[in-house]
Amino acid sequence: MSSIVDALYELKYNPFKYGEYIASFYSAISDVDNNLLLAQLVIPLCSHPVFACKLSNANIKSSIWSIFGDRTKLYDLQERIDEFQNLTEQSIQYCLVNDWLSVEEDSLALSFSANPEIPLAIQKNAEKLGRIFSGHSVVEIYEHLGVKPR
């Protein structure tokens, strides 16, 4: 029975699907130093039932405080970050292989670089999350969400 559950989990949460989320996030984020540290937030927030809905309804005026203002709904975010850590790493590797992202080693940053040979379906929730996080420091984002980077 556990192999069926594991297979369903692998089908739903796979790096091929969530690689597009990571790339979409980095296509929209700007003015954030050490943005590589934010990668582990993308999948847990974009796949969260409450925040996925809030992100899909976000507009240009939305901010980190309006989307993530109710901290009681963030109670399981640290567990989700820990659970999706391996998936995040695999998704980043998938993006690097497809040339959707490049690593700036000196600044610990990922930058978006579109590859016309391998089309990318932009994931709107991840793109909106990138816009919402833009201009904020990594420390400020983690502090507001009440989680710690791992």
Domain boundaries, given as residue ranges, for the chain: 3-145
Question: Could you read off the pLDDT of 12-35 as tens digits, one per residue?
Answer: 778 889 999 999 999 999 999 899
Gyration radius (Cα) of the chain, Å: 15
Q: Hey, which residues does 112 pair with through a beta bridge?
A: 101
- As a whole number of angstroms, the distance between CA 30 and CA 110 comes to 11
- As a whole number of angstroms, the distance between CA 106 and CA 74 comes to 32
Those residues whose C-beta lies under 8 Å from the C-beta of residue 73, and which sit 6 or more positions away, are 50, 51
3-state secondary structure 14-83: CHHHHHHHHHHHHHHCCCCCCHHHHHHHHHHHHCCHHHHHHHHCCCCCCCHHHHCCCHHHHCCHHHHHHH
DSSP state of 126: H
DSSP-based three-state secondary structure for 149: coil
Question: Could you read off the pLDDT of 42-98 as tens digits, one per residue?
Answer: 999 999 989 999 999 988 888 999 999 888 888 899 999 999 999 999 999 999 999
The percent of residues above 90 in pLDDT, for the chain, comes to: 61
Kindly indicate the confidence band of residue 2, based on its pLDDT and cuts at 50, 70 and 90: low
The neighbour count for residue 98, using CB atoms within 10 Å, is 17
DSSP state of 108: T
pLDDT at 12: 73
pLDDT at 112: 93
Kindly indicate the confidence band of residue 1, based on its pLDDT and cuts at 50, 70 and 90: low
